[in-house]
Amino acid sequence: MQKLRCHCCGKELPAGTLKYVLELKSFADFDGYLEEYEGNIEEGINYLLETIDGLDEKSLEAEVSREMAYILCKPCCDRFMNDPFQTGKPPVRSDDVKGTVH
Ligand SMILES: [Zn+2]
């Protein structure tokens, strides 16, 4: 059986070790604002449909939402949850940024 390792630091995580599953989900946010389209609307729609046609289902799905999961050791999980992008800024509560989603 393949040994389980922390996705971040690579430390081995033998059976019985405290480990964390980090689930990441990103999705396209919609703020309710539609840019006014200048030009022939029918042409615009046709262009949009052609663009969508050119994308396979997976690519299209990835444009809208993505989900991933990682196994982390406790120190890596703590570090991520406190400052995921290592910006030195305090973490933001999800309710504070999802105000644009209806
Ligand atoms: Zn780790």
Task: Quote the ligand 1 centre to 78 CA distance (angstroms).
Answer: 10
Task: Quote the ligand 1 centre to 25 CA distance (angstroms).
Answer: 20
Residues, Cβ < 5 Å to ion ligand 1: 6, 8-9, 11, 73, 76
Task: Quote the ligand 1 centre to 74 CA distance (angstroms).
Answer: 7
Residues 6+ apart with CB under 8 A from 90: none
| pTM of the predicted model as reported, rounded to 2 decimal places | 0.65
pLDDT at residue number 30: 79
The domain locations on the chain are 19-29+65-100
Q: What is the pLDDT of residues 21-80, one digit of tens each?
A: 999 999 888 787 777 777 788 888 888 888 888 888 888 777 788 999 999 999 999 999
Quickly tell me which residue has 């995580």 as its tokens.
13
Whole-number Å distance between alpha carbons of 72 and 32: 37
pLDDT at residue number 102: 52
